[in-house]
Amino acid sequence: MIAAPSLAFLAQWTGRHSALDPAGPQAERIGDLWWLMFWISTGVFLAVLTALLAAILRRRREEEDAPGPIAPEARHRLTRVVAGAVGVTVVLLFVLLFASVGTGRALGSLSSRQALTIRLTGQQWWWSVEYQDPVPGRMVTTANEIHIPTGRPILVQLESRDVIHSFWVPNLHGKRDLIPGHKGEVWIQADRPGVYRGQCAEFCGHQHALMGLLVVAEPPEAFAAWLEAQRRPAAPPVTPAQKRGQKLVETLPCALCHTIQGTAASGKTGPDLTHLASRRTLAAGTLPNTPGHLAGWIVDPQSIKPGNHMPANTLQSEDLQALLAYLGSLK
Ligand code: CUA
């Protein structure tokens, strides 16, 4: 029996997966705009209801006192009230317009000083993450988990390999589409360390709902250590099982789709596995990264995420154990 994605597993990050719990300057601006709109709309709603109630009560009283047409003074007062209400409405609409335009401008104006550039490529149904560097040998490729240093602006370059996806990490920013054949970009910044869940926000096929990602914001020193570790090729196998596992990866179809730096596996269709064991999730935020879930995923990925591009693998028990031992060593 293969474990389906567990809700408890997803909940550990979705609990804080909220645009109203901002962790960076842009999400904060968006949150402020939302609260301004919320309170103005609430005020208008209450004012309209109060006016309606007052009108109903007064009309009833007037009809009881002196039924008949409205007196000329009352008509004048009514005209003044309606004109005043129209004036207030226009002013409020302009307040919302300026606040909205101002927020839009502020969102695009993160300082690009000391920016870190990440290329994010969406595909059915996972995210490829490439840390750019002027020296090609220092670029880092990973998948479905973006690490960023806190307090530093990040330029995320967006591309898609197949259909339209949308990058959305509610705690950091609004949505931005990844469009095939078009290079988009978005700036993000996290000021508070934490793990923020992201989600593809544009329907992109069968497994759109299971196209998640994590953004791990950590202090600059921790981030630098992480990046340095990711730059290294895969850890060489030590135990006999790990050695056998590496040989299996290189000879089985795995190598056609996945890359493990420092080995013969250099496929580009699936996620880079060089440091697979350092990641928190499997299959783009679908499963916790544990040996049991990894075994289920290797043997029968289609029952976990139907329609994804990973084929089922029939393996002898010892081969599967060797594969797990090796993949589990790729810290
Ligand atoms: Cu990718 Cu929805």
Burial (0-12, 13-18, 19+ Cβ within 10 Å), 209: middle
Classify the phi-psi angles of 90: left when phi > 0, otherwise alpha if psi is within -120 to 50, otherwise beta: alpha
Instruction: Establish whether residue 284 lines the binding site of ligand 1, counting it when its CB lies within 6 angstroms of any ligand atom.
Output: no
Q: For position 34, what pLDDT does the model report?
A: 94
Alpha carbon of 177 to ligand 1 centroid (Å): 10
Instruction: Establish whether residue 310 lines the binding site of ligand 1, counting it when its CB lies within 6 angstroms of any ligand atom.
Output: no
Instruction: Establish whether residue 167 lines the binding site of ligand 1, counting it when its CB lies within 6 angstroms of any ligand atom.
Output: no
Of residues 285, 302, 312, 311, the one with CA closest to residue 126: 285
Alpha carbon of 123 to ligand 1 centroid (Å): 8
Alpha carbon of 297 to ligand 1 centroid (Å): 20
Nearest CA to ligand 1 atom 1: 165
Instruction: Establish whether residue 122 lines the binding site of ligand 1, counting it when its CB lies within 6 angstroms of any ligand atom.
Output: yes
Alpha carbon of 278 to ligand 1 centroid (Å): 24
Instruction: Establish whether residue 270 lines the binding site of ligand 1, counting it when its CB lies within 6 angstroms of any ligand atom.
Output: no
Alpha carbon of 17 to ligand 1 centroid (Å): 17
Walking along the chain (331 residues) 10 residues at a time, the average pLDDT comes out as 58 72 91 95 94 87 70 85 92 95 84 85 95 91 95 94 95 94 92 93 94 95 95 92 93 92 91 94 92 93 93 90 93 90
Alpha carbon of 128 to ligand 1 centroid (Å): 13
Q: For position 1, what pLDDT does the model report?
A: 43
What is the distance between the alpha carbons of residues 278 and 296, in angstroms, rounded to a whole number? 19
CA distances from 246 to 298, 321, 326 (A): 15, 12, 6
Q: For position 126, what pLDDT does the model report?
A: 96
